[in-house]
Amino acid sequence: MRETSSYRRKNALTGEWVLSSPQRGNRPWSGEATDTNVEKMSTYDPHCPLCPGTHRSNNIRNDDYLGPYVFNNDFSALTAPDSDEKLATSALESVNSTPSFISEEAAEGECRVICFDHRHDRTLADFGVSELKNLLGIIQGTYCELSARYRCVTLFENKGALMGCSQPHPHGQIWAHDHLSSKVAQEDQQQSLYLQKNRSALLADYQKWESENDKRVVFENSDWLIVVPYWAAWPFETLLITKGTQADFGELAPENLTTLAQALAVLNRTYDALFNCSFPYSMGWHNAPSGQENSHWRLHAHFFPPLLRSATIKKHMVGYEMLGEPQRDLTVESAAKKLRKLADPIKKQLANPL
């Protein structure tokens, strides 16, 4: 492992490169330090549009729900297929010769919100394994419903104001559409090319290599592996991969949901323990596109947390990262070692509750 010289690693899922500069890890810091003096939240906020029984901005009243709750996003990023609001006629359409470098298409689909719990003050790090399994079952049901109608379904969560989360009530989102999002299209292509060349699935081979190597493993059980990926761009980025052949969320059996709940419980508590804070991140599940042969795919989730050195110092993807390629200041292996050290006792605690 190199500690004093820079190097690049290729992201096998996207084909993009990441610059690693571990020699910069100890440089002086006088930049932004986020305030962590967050006021303790109450269990219920009558002004929160996601709490049970409150009214959302469109004056729709939430059910008096307990546990998870799913509803259509009032501010959908996608136009509903049956909507009267169709793609407006572009000014370019009135021009006889549109340049070949100009492209535009309708973006239709559905967006849903899933409140993880009726309590306003809980995050997934507060959930027990059985609670997480129940939540995953509801997410799976919603995924199956949407994937029957749309080609691409993305499940994601933005946790914390630092990640632009507009509501503190713990929740995630599910977006479904027929076009392939750019990231899914990249991963679909890279995994397909790998299968054609090697006659095996990329993430299946990668999972086995990481399990055997064990340098970047944060957590592993019978069905799931969590690693700081070899090509990680964010300081404490992780990749959660199935060890089975499942290509999408709908293929998970009940026992897979149980072991997945364990993995998520360990990871969320580990993140919170790292800097002793409610750890912010953006995460999401990448499912294989519906309606095609998917032997090249494996179901996986990405976690992208921004914190770099402490609860108050975050990594900014600016300058060279925006104009060149992502760059990181600590090695992937050292990040994994820190997370693994915290994850091991949490795993034992969950396996042997008091």
Average pLDDT rounded to a whole number, residues 263-272: 98
Whether residue 277 is contained in a domain is answered as yes
Residue 143 near residue 153, CB atoms below 8 Å: yes
What is the per-residue pLDDT for 66?
A: 97
Whether residue 92 is contained in a domain is answered as no
Q: For residue 108, is pLDDT > 70?
A: yes
Q: Which residues are catalytic?
A: 171
Between 5 and 218, residue with greater pLDDT: 218
Domain count, the chain: 1
Whether residue 99 is contained in a domain is answered as no
Whether residue 89 is contained in a domain is answered as no
H/E segment holding residue 190: helix 182-198
| pLDDT tens string 13-34 | 999 999 999 876 555 444 454 5
CATH of the domain at 144: 3.30.428.10
Instruction: Give the domain range for residue 242.
Output: 40-79+106-351
| CB atoms near residue 74 (< 10 Å) | 13
Residue 226 near residue 219, CB atoms below 8 Å: yes
Nearest to 71 by CA among 122, 110, 124: 110
| Six-digit token string for 122 | 């809980």
Q: For residue 52, is pLDDT > 50?
A: yes
In this prediction the pTM is 0.93
Residue 137 near residue 257, CB atoms below 8 Å: yes
Could you tell me the pLDDT band of residue 248, with boundaries at 50, 70 and 90? very high
Could you tell me the pLDDT band of residue 307, with boundaries at 50, 70 and 90? very high
